[in-house]
Chain A
Amino acid sequence: MVEILSSPLFGITLSIVAFKAGLWVSQKVKNPIANPLIIAMIIVVGTLEIFDIPHQYFEEGASFILMFLAPVTAVLALTIYRQRAVLLSSFFPVVIGTFTGSLAAMASVLLLSRWLGLEEAIIASMIPKSVTTPVAIALAEQMGGLPALTIASTLITGLGGNLLAPFMIKVFAVKDPVAQGVGIGCCSHALGTTKAMEIGQVQGAMSSISISLSAIWTVLLVPLFL
């Protein structure tokens, strides 16, 4: 049994099965809380705990999956490149809106965390959490944060933006569909963008392009918060 479990294929297979199950459940339930990543996490941790499998066995396979995080981040450039026509259609609102938004996201995390007396490693994990997960993980690691905590923060942020978007639009009286999309994409990346797409086509397109732009601004502005 140990021979099978200690093979890297064990961790990889378990992750794939858990992810597929997570996708299946999230498509059935159709609630943002039923997030495929959260479901996959529960399945993997549950399997390891129930069968009392040491985590080092899972990590044999996990290291192979982790190796793909850099290539995933690199090809994000392709999504940015494909959105160039949409970007040009609303260039200044998107570029300037995501600039102030990214700055506000990082500054608010820093000030609020300091006020609450959180540790530096925790703060570093949260500062880049508004952007798309692979970029957020890379930046947090660079600043001495914990990638796991960054993923948890991007999940809370994305789900929060998804659930709060309709109310925030009303409360802050944002009437322009372009501005609504910029706000949602900047504050809550892809998880919020699914809500923006439900609200409207313009909102969805602007939210998608704002994910890319806020990621670039965050990369450029993060040295200010080191």
Chain B
Amino acid sequence: MKYLGQLGLIFALCLVGDLAAHLLPFSLPGSVVSMLLVLVLLASGLLKERHLGESADFLLRNMTFFFIPPAISIIRYTDVISAIWWQLILVNLVSVVICFAVSAWTAAAVIRLQHVVSGGRRG
């Protein structure tokens, strides 16, 4: 009963997220709204970790499993992909390098700035 209750709660939160996504003035996927909703409920203390418990951990531990069906549907697009495969690889890898450089440099700059500020305070 414990697991069924947890799963029921997770499904209900997804439905509320879906409904909220329809009512929002900007378009966001229902599942993402559900995620933000659960985060807000956890942070506010209205929802406790144990309410989601083992069922949530089961979903998280096996997350990759749930990507199998959408991944398999790639065979419907083999003609599209065979025409642009090198562009796909190029775009994805170049953006990895750019994203890494920008985020790592920004983080490093913020850390240096924090050192300067705290050093200044001490001085």
Contacts and interface: CB of A to CB of B under 8 A. Distances in A.
B35 A97 contact: no
A199 interface: no
B52 A78 contact: yes
Contacts, number: 292
Contacts of A161: 96, 100
Contacts of B71: 37, 40-41, 148, 151-152
Nearest to B6: A75
Interface string A31-42: 000001100110
A93 interface: yes
A201 to B, nearest CB: 17
Contacts of B106: 93, 96-97, 99-101, 182
A179 B96 contact: no
Interface string A1-43: 0000000000100011011000000000000000011001100
Main secondary structure of the interface of B (DSSP, over half): helix
B68 A18 contact: yes
Main secondary structure of the interface of A (DSSP, over half): helix
A78 B92 CA distance: 29
A178 B66 CA distance: 31
A142 to B, nearest CB: 5
Contacts of B30: 70, 138
A130 B35 contact: no
A53 interface: no
Interface residues of B, number: 72
B74 interface: yes
B14 A70 contact: yes
B116 interface: no
A66 B98 contact: no
Contact of B110 (A75, A97, A133, A151): A97
A104 B103 contact: yes
The 6 A-B pairs with the shortest beta carbon distances in the complex, nearest first, are A101-B103, A183-B104, A97-B107, A62-B69, A138-B29, A77-B38
Interface of A: 11, 15-16, 18-19, 36-37, 40-41, 44-45, 55, 58-59, 62-63, 65-66, 68-82, 92-94, 96-105, 108-109, 112-113, 116, 118, 122, 126, 129-130, 133-135, 137-139, 141-142, 146-149, 151-153, 156-157, 160-161, 164-165, 168-169, 172, 174-176, 178-180, 182-184, 186-188, 210, 214, 216, 219, 223
Interface of B: 7, 10-11, 13-14, 17-18, 26-32, 34-39, 42-43, 49, 52, 56-57, 59-60, 62-77, 80-81, 84, 87-108, 110-111, 114
8 contacts: A37-B67, A58-B72, A69-B70, A71-B14, A112-B95, A113-B87, A118-B87, A122-B88
